[in-house]
Amino acid sequence: MINTADIEKVVALTLASGYVEGEKPVSLMLVSDRPESGKTEIVKQFSKIPNIAIVNDMTAFAMWRDFGSAIAKGDIKHFIMPEFLAPISRKSTVDSFIATLQMMIEEGLTEIHTGFLEPIKFDSPKVIGVIVCMPRNTFKGNRLNWDISGFLSRFVLATYKYNDDTVKKIFDSIFNQEYLQETKQPLKFKTASITIPKSIRAKCLSMAVEITKQARKDGKCYGFRELKNIIRFVASMVILDNANGATRHEANEADFEEVARLSYLFNEEFNSLREEESQAKNKSKLLAPRPEPAPKPIPEHDDTDDNSEFTRMESEFTHRGMIQSAADKLGTTAKAKEGEANKIKEEK
């Protein structure tokens, strides 16, 4: 794969989110600008990771029949559907299938009655993440219905395309049959409780507000799910580091910065995948542990409303305004005194 390290990392973060203790797994909708963009190859690199099921086609009934027992035991954390067009093209079953995915991603499954199988009951709600892949035309053709039903808002949306230079490199790679040498990602995740400091959560809030600015303006969402998913991605960075030998339980500045760097993909703009020198390194070792960043001093502020970052920002801006106002008054007073002194000199 050529210049796909950023998309691979987004997929890895999504899968790692299933191992953050106490959190729901993130679901990902991966949309390419056109067919032949490597979506299937990208997600299938992770097929050796335990607790995932890769299916090319499925109905709600088939899900309960084939995976009901594994779901009940908690053995599945993510379903991966490399060709989402197949299950949504079956008009007789698509509505029940989408409704089932919606419940499974957000509220969780508690009890299933199909009329054809024995009722399936779970001792606790089973929330399972989903990764679905499709080209732009499939996404555009279904976007309105998914938006209205709330299905789309349950996913992190990631779009991408290749620039001309990357296309040329891919042609050269295929010509040299380099695709025969591609290997699967050997990641093994461990469940862990991850702490995210308040200063980093504040940055996650700012990022969520920025990403959902237009959608909130159009009245399509509030951005709550976006904020949750960004926080989950930051926690997932720790899980990924631990899969490479680290033993951390707290997110740091570098974790947030990496998620922020990837945010150019979290929109409907189909931005070109970036060509970076680090991409080659990421191919051999997807996520090497990163050093802890030096702590930065955090300015003191009023914590009367500790849960509201907006309140903190407003308080900080007000405080700055008061300081500026006081400085202006002092400057005015000093000028007045200077003027009086000059007047006395002139009179003498």
Query: Residue 42 above 70 pLDDT?
Result: yes
**What distance lies between CA 200 and its chain's CA centroid?**
15
Residue 344 to residue 329: CA distance in whole angstroms:
23
How high is the mean pLDDT of the chain? 82
300-325: average pLDDT: 46
Please report the DSSP string for 56-87 in residue order.
Answer: SS--HHHHHHHHHHHHHHT--SEEEES-THHH
Residue 318 to residue 11: CA distance in whole angstroms:
41
Query: Residue 237 above 60 pLDDT?
Result: yes
Query: Residue 331 above 60 pLDDT?
Result: no
Q: Output the pTM of the full model.
A: 0.78
Q: Which of 15-29, 129-143, 245-259, 297-311 has the lowest average pLDDT? A: 297-311
Query: Residue 222 above 80 pLDDT?
Result: yes
C-beta separation of 223 from 210 below 8 A: no
What are the sequence ranges of the domains in the chain? 5-284, 300-348
List Cα–Cα distances, 86 to 43, 115, 126, 308, in angstroms: 17, 24, 25, 44
Residue 142 to residue 98: CA distance in whole angstroms:
12
The CATH code belonging to domain 5-284 is 3.40.50.300
Torsion of CA 116, 117, 119, 121, to 10 degrees: -130
Which residue type is seen at 218? D
The closest of 19, 37, 41, 51 to 185, measured between CA atoms, is 41
Which two tokens mark 311? 């309140």
List Cα–Cα distances, 240 to 38, 190, 284, in angstroms: 23, 9, 15
Query: Residue 320 above 90 pLDDT?
Result: no
Q: Which of 29-33, 115-119, 164-168 has the lowest average pLDDT? A: 115-119
